[in-house]
Amino acid sequence: MANTLKFGNGQWATGNGTALAYNDENANFKPLPFDFTRASSGTTVNQSGLIETVGSGIPRIDFQGNTKGALLLEPSRTNEVTNSVDLLEYFNNTATVTDTANSTTSPNGNKTAYKYQGNGTFTSVRLFENRSFTENTDYCLSVFAKAGTNNFLQLGILGVSGGRTVYFDLSSVSASSEFGKIENYGNGWFRCSMIASVTSGDLAGNANIYITKSVSVTSFDSNLEAQNATMFLWGAQLEAGSYATSYIPTSGSAVTRVRDLSDTQNLSHVIGQTEGVIFYDAILVHKSTSTSEDLFELSIDDGSANNAFFINNYNNTLTVLLKSGGSTSFSNNSFNPTEGARYKLGFAYKQNDFALYINGNQIATDSSGTVPSMNQITFGNYYDNRVNFQSNVKVNDFKLYNTRLTNSELAALTQV
């Protein structure tokens, strides 16, 4: 079996505007560049486990929870919190809290995190007060937190239709509802995030962080005094969207991180034109849960939708589809992935002989259909790189074969 293209699997070579894959056909190891664009800087977690800023146009290899790293592809997002590190200006009443600058090492490795200590009265960070939210829009509020003498935190988007609060316990690494998420960033730091779906009606509300004394309460009330407890906070972020994306640092104004685009053309010599296998190993950062999100993880095509293979993250499932001459040769949408989980997908194709395997299991086969001619690859989007089709994924490994592997070989290749 000829493995004609390798991309990732711990072997990353990136530069300004490019990420390299390799062609080892006939034992000839040649660089194959994937074009890459992002018209802004962005952050990623480096091999040392620290958040670092990557310059405009440089692909981001993310090592969060992954020692081999993965190509991080995200949509455009804006952090609306104008000062993401020094949060003292946002406290509802600065007389109720004492802050100490540069108290401990932050998730980026610098000693820039602030320690906050309540004085026995109510302690809250009101990032926005009586701001106007946009109706029928999801918002995600997040912050990095590290326990001092206190383990408890509450995030809230309040005063609006669809608003809510979520409680976090840093000691048990838990969130109080499905609308919250807590992620371990090492060295005692956790990123806590919550989402709220603002509907029509009352749109003037608040986005708040509360340093609380417990998670036993069910709603905000006067019993949430921190009572001299301490906690470290860093990297606050409010973004329009139904999940948290990578941290966007701000200092004085809102900042937008532009979306990532990665694709390449003229690859007909490594894409099997009559038979082959497509192997795709990725982490689905965000799983589309409704028909309002139509997100493409991978597209291999001829520059049109008529001759194309794609993986589409849509309405709680993955759609895997192959079209030839505008007609469907293979289609399956039975796999329901877990958000944040890794999956390995192998798709074998040959005229009248198709098979789909995911995580070592046979998902579907088909014995009728033709193979299209394809010559370009796009990661994290559709063939024409549409803004609304941008997916949020981490690509661990990608391979092409120009022969159809056996089903048992597909099972072994995709074993988790």
pLDDT tens, position by position, 41-61: 999 999 999 999 999 999 999
Segment 399-411 mean pLDDT: 97
Instruction: Identify the structural domains of the chain with CATH numbers, from first to last.
Output: 3-75+261-413 (2.60.120.200), 78-257 (2.60.120.260)
Specify the DSSP element, H or E, that contains 33. Answer: strand 30-37
pLDDT tens, position by position, 348-364: 999 999 999 999 999 99
Report which residue type is found at 398. F
Alpha-carbon span 357 to 359, nearest angstrom: 7
What is the distance, to the nearest Å, from the Cα of residue 245 to the centroid of all Cα atoms in its chain?
6
Predicted pLDDT at 292 = 87
393 within 8 A of 282, measured Cβ to Cβ:
yes
Q: Which residues partner with 207 through β-bridges?
A: 128, 157
Confidence of residue 138 (pLDDT cuts 50, 70, 90): very high
Confidence of residue 130 (pLDDT cuts 50, 70, 90): confident
pLDDT tens, position by position, 292-313: 899 999 999 999 999 999 999 9
pLDDT tens, position by position, 228-286: 778 999 999 999 999 999 999 999 999 999 999 999 999 999 999 999 999 999 999 99
Predicted pLDDT at 33 = 85
Paired tokens of 221 = 């009330």
Cβ count within 10 A of residue 222: 7
DSSP characters for 388-401? Answer: GGB--EEEEEEEEE
Segment 177-205 mean pLDDT: 93
Residue 227 has pLDDT above 80, yes or no: no
Predicted pLDDT at 268 = 94
Confidence of residue 212 (pLDDT cuts 50, 70, 90): confident
